[in-house]
């Protein structure tokens, strides 16, 4: 009999708990209820030993049937399944990147409609990074040349990705020696599907290397290009105030939620929602105005650049509708649940899909046309305004729960904040790490998962690491989880950070947890680590840094790809739930052990958060020992004069 959890066993924050109670009272089935109904899940699937790659199968590996019909055992089957997950994740990120490159191409060729190049400086630095000559050229010509380079990164058939050259040189050597430097992004994905076809690659270690290679085509390819193109088109994020949780919905306004991952439409919606004509139309139907807020990573994109409030992370998408106060939810791609229209049916909410590759039964499709973006955005918002009179006040209950936050920590911003506009530099951060005031860096990223108590592991881990003077970098739904708990404010440094991290944060004016963007922006974390290496004093490869990645509550195939590109880059990754490999001791042992000698990093499966804290701290201290920077620090009590003199 499956266990039915109480609302407070499903969610950490008060807003989600109260909406889970309301969902039950309103007769709405949510993801948590469906997770309970699913029970523990199929053991073969959980262990990764179910294969349906050909139609002699499906084959399941068990003691009485240790081999599939073709002779593939648990190691091969689980490794092929894992590589296919990485491939899907890499494809999702990279297709997102491709869309942005095509938009940049249209802008460069004068076909961008309402879009333009917002960050000319970023365009020029990106062109230099990718080896495009810029001398004397106007922006559109530089953009055209850069787009050509980016497009070739997708289509390259031979050689290796040019983007890999952004990584530290020793790391590139590791990839070359191992033969995992990917060629074109698209061809890497095709190759991964080929090698996992029935009867091709059977060696689980070789399949893991394939997973690392495909993931590199994502992190150092498609995702890196996606982030760069977004910054050029929409502006490189700078620190911005915002707030998070369901309390950002406004009972008096037309509430519009953007959900998914693609920033192009959302950027225009931000402008359109402030259009006086549309605001007047909203007032004409009795609303105070139009309130735009976001869910998941589309939310992170517009939070990072405009301070648009975040209504919630992944598992709050249904709960937002349960408030009864959402006129329209606009979905694009990735992480938008199939259930949304059926939840919306219990209220007056309309669900609109805007991508031709992401339709939903019962949701209204309205294909977003980038060449006519503003008109399209206005049409969409008018649907929301028209729906406002249909709201049933008796069904409205918006939790009075939200927390302020500061987001917008692109690397360019971190350079400026640490070094000042005239001596932009990561030096102060390196010095803080070398002197031990910052013990190390942890990238805590990824999703939330309905099988657990959402946000719990992420927030507990983050709080404990900053208490132990580890600076935390975040993206995606993990960042929103911490935003909801007030961890993304400079004040959090005073209240929750360890004493030496607090001093650093106070001196620079940053939170102890830096929100670096959406899940595709994990590329920013790769680059942050790279800039630290390049700054000097902490080794010459990413694998030497006192740094670690963690995906405590991950659920998406994109997270599998992200975890692999971190490990391929030499950065260990802690996973709060294991990959589906536990039916293969050989594969699990290789991922969580053997890889260390191959790429200088490995995975850690750690469901217990306290164990994760200890593992992460030990890992960071071991790296510090190896660098020879673990000199015993003298404890010093700082007075105001000392604080002013702090060199951070
Ligand atoms: Fe079974 Fe092999 Fe076919 Fe997989 S590829 S379904 S293990 S026969
Ligand atoms: S939205 S991939 S649940 S982070 Fe990027 Fe959140 Fe994970 Fe989707």
Look at ligand 1, atom 4, and give the residue with the nearest C-alpha.
Answer: 51
Three-state DSSP string of 14-61: HHHHHHHHHHHHHCCCCHHHHHHHHCCCCHHHHHCCEECCCCCCCEEC
Residue 571 has pLDDT above 70, yes or no: yes
Helices 223-234/263-273 angle, 10° precision: 20
SS3 551: strand
Q: Which residues fall within 8 angstroms of residue 416, CB to CB, at 6 or more apart?
A: 424
Identify the nearest ligand to the CA of 50 by its number: 1
Would you say the CB of residue 62 lies under 6 angstroms from ligand 1? no
Of 439, 491, 449, 487, residue with least CA distance to 616: 439
Which residues sit opposite 440 in a β-bridge?
A: 470
The pLDDT assigned to 640 comes to: 60
Of 502, 500, 497, residue with least CA distance to 464: 497
- CA distance between the termini of the chain: 57
519 CA: nearest ligand 2 atom: 5
Mean pLDDT of the chain: 96
The pLDDT assigned to 642 comes to: 59
71 CA: nearest ligand 1 atom: 2
How confident is residue 418, by pLDDT bands cut at 50, 70 and 90? confident
The pLDDT assigned to 500 comes to: 97
448 CA: nearest ligand 2 atom: 3
Residue 110 has pLDDT above 70, yes or no: yes
Class of domain 246-395: alpha beta
The pLDDT assigned to 645 comes to: 58
Would you say the CB of residue 378 lies under 6 angstroms from ligand 2? no
Would you say the CB of residue 146 lies under 6 angstroms from ligand 1? no
The pLDDT assigned to 493 comes to: 96
Distance 188 CA to ligand 1 centre (A): 23
How confident is residue 419, by pLDDT bands cut at 50, 70 and 90? confident
The pLDDT assigned to 641 comes to: 62
Quick: pLDDT tens for 421-476. 667 889 999 999 999 999 999 999 999 999 999 999 999 999 999 999 999 999 99
Residue 634 has pLDDT above 70, yes or no: no
Distance 203 CA to ligand 1 centre (A): 15
Residue 369 has pLDDT above 70, yes or no: yes
Look at ligand 2, atom 8, and give the residue with the nearest C-alpha.
Answer: 335
- Would you give the DSSP letter of residue 602? -
Rounded to the nearest angstrom, the gap between the alpha carbon of residue 593 and the centroid of all alpha carbons in its chain is: 26
Class of domain 74-234: mainly alpha
Identify the nearest ligand to the CA of 52 by its number: 1
Look at ligand 2, atom 3, and give the residue with the nearest C-alpha.
Answer: 447
Distance 645 CA to ligand 2 centre (A): 41
Look at ligand 1, atom 6, and give the residue with the nearest C-alpha.
Answer: 57
The pLDDT assigned to 473 comes to: 98
The pLDDT assigned to 643 comes to: 59
If you average pLDDT over residues 189-207, what whole number do you get? 98
Identify the nearest ligand to the CA of 197 by its number: 1
Pocket test for ligand 1, best of 66, 67, 70, 207 (most atoms within 8 A of CB): 70
How confident is residue 648, by pLDDT bands cut at 50, 70 and 90? very low
Quick: pLDDT tens for 307-317. 999 999 999 99
**What's the Cα-to-Cα distance from 295 to each of 10, 257, 292, rounded to whole Å?**
18, 7, 11
Lateral strand order in the sheet of 290-295: 364-365, 350-353, 328-331, 254-260, 290-295, 310-312, 240-244, 403-407
- Chain position carrying tokens 């990917």: 182
| Dihedral angle, C-alpha 70, 75, 79, 82, nearest 10 ° | 110
- Chain position carrying tokens 């869910």: 295
Give the count of beta carbons closer than 10 Å to the beta carbon of residue 333: 18
Give the CATH number of domain 403-627: 3.40.50.2030
Which residues sit opposite 364 in a β-bridge?
A: 352
Residue 636 has pLDDT above 80, yes or no: no
**What's the Cα-to-Cα distance from 583 to each of 20, 76, 200, 552, rounded to whole Å?**
34, 11, 21, 21
Q: Where are the alpha helices (DSSP H) in 309-392?
A: 317-322, 340-344, 373-387
Question: Among residues of the chain, what percentage have pLDDT more than 90?
Answer: 94
Question: Which two three-digit tokens encode residue 621?
Answer: 């201290």
Would you say the CB of residue 68 lies under 6 angstroms from ligand 1? yes
Per-residue burial over 363-392, b if 16 or more Cβ lie within 10 Å, else e, is: beeeebebeebeebbbebbebbbebbeebe
Pocket test for ligand 2, best of 96, 223, 297 (most atoms within 8 A of CB): 297
SS3 547: strand
Q: Do 74-234 and 403-627 agree at the fold level?
A: no
Q: Which residues fall within 8 angstroms of residue 258, CB to CB, at 6 or more apart?
A: 265, 266, 269, 292, 293, 294, 295, 298, 299, 302, 330
How confident is residue 631, by pLDDT bands cut at 50, 70 and 90? confident
If you average pLDDT over residues 497-512, what whole number do you get? 96
Would you say the CB of residue 56 lies under 6 angstroms from ligand 1? yes
Would you say the CB of residue 197 lies under 6 angstroms from ligand 1? no
Distance CA 350, CA 327 (A): 6
Residue 570 has pLDDT above 90, yes or no: yes
SS3 290: strand
Residue 638 has pLDDT above 80, yes or no: no
- Chain position carrying tokens 């990485």: 86
The pLDDT assigned to 424 comes to: 81
Domain segments of the chain as ranges: 7-60, 74-234, 246-395, 403-627
Distance CA 40, CA 442 (A): 31
């Amino acid at each position: 009999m499956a266990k039915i959890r109480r609302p407070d066993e499903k969610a950490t924050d008060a807003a989600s708990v109260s909406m889970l109670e309301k969902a039950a009272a309103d007769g709405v089935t949510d993801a948590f209820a469906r997770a309970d109904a699913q029970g523990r899940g199929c053991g073969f699937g959980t262990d990764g030993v179910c294969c349906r790659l050909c139609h002699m199968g499906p084959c399941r590996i068990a003691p009485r049937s240790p081999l599939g019909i073709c002779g593939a055992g648990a190691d091969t089957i689980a490794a092929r399944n894992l590589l296919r997950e990485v491939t899907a994740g890499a494809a999702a990120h990279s297709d997102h990147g491709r869309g942005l490159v095509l938009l940049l191409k249209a802008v460069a060729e004068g076909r961008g409609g309402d879009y333009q190049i917002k960050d000319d400086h970023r365009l020029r630095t990106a062109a230099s990074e990718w080896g495009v000559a810029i001398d004397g050229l106007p922006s559109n010509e530089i953009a055209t040349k850069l787009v050509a380079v980016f497009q070739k990164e997708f289509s390259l058939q031979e050689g290796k990705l040019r983007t890999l050259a952004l990584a530290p040189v020793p790391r590139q050597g590791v990839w070359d020696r191992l033969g995992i430097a990917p060629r074109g992004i698209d061809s890497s994905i095709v190759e991964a599907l080929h090698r996992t076809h029935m009867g091709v690659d059977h060696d689980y270690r070789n399949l893991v290397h394939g997973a690392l290679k495909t993931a590199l085509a994502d992190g150092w390819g498609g995702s890196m290009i996606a982030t760069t193109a977004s910054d050029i088109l929409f502006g490189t994020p700078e620190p911005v105030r915002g707030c998070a949780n369901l309390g950002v919905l406004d009972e008096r306004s037309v509430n519009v939620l953007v959900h998914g991952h693609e920033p192009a439409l959302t950027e225009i919606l931000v402008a359109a929602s402030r259009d006086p004509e549309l605001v007047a139309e909203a007032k004409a139907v009795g609303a105070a105005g139009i309130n735009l807020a976001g869910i998941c990573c589309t939310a992170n994109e517009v939070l990072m650049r405009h301070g648009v409030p975040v209504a919630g992370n992944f598992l709050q998408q249904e709960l937002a509708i349960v408030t009864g106060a959402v006129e329209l939810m606009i979905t694009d791609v990735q992480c938008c649940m199939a259930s949304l229209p059926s939840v919306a049916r219990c209220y007056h909410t309309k669900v609109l899909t805007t991508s031709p590759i992401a339709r939903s039964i019962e949701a209204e499709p309205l294909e977003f046309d980038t060449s006519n973006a503003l008109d399209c955005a206005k049409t969409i918002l008018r649907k929301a305004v028209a729906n406002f009179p249909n709201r049933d006040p008796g069904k409205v209950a918006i939790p009075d729960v939200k927390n302020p936050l500061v987001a917008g920590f692109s690397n360019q911003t971190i350079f400026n904040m640490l070094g000042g506009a005239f001596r932009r530099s990561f030096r102060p951060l390196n010095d803080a790490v070398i002197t031990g005031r910052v013990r190390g860096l942890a990238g805590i990223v990824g999703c939330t998962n309905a099988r657990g108590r959402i946000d719990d592991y992420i927030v507990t881990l983050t709080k404990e690491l900053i208490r132990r003077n580890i600076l935390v970098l975040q993206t995606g739904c993990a960042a929103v989880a911490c935003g909801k708990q007030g961890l993304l404010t400079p004040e959090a440094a005073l209240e929750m950070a360890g004493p030496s991290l607090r001093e650093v944060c106070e001196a620079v004016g940053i939170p102890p947890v830096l929100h670096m963007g959406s899940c595709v922006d994990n590329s920013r974390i790769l680059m942050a680590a790279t800039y630290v290496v390049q700054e000097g004093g902490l080794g010459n490869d990413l694998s030497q840094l006192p740094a670690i990645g963690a995906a405590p509550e991950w659920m998406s195939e994109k997270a599998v790809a992200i975890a692999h590109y971190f490990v391929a880059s030499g950065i260990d990754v802690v996973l709060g739930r294991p990959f589906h490999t536990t039916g293969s001791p050989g594969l699990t042992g290789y991922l969580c052990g053997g890889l260390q000698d191959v790429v200088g990093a490995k995975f850690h499966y750690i469901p217990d958060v306290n164990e994760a804290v200890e593992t992460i701290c030990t890992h960071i201290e071991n790296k510090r020992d190896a660098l020879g920077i673990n000199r015993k620090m003298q404890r010093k009590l700082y007075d105001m004069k000392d604080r002013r003199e702090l060199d951070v």
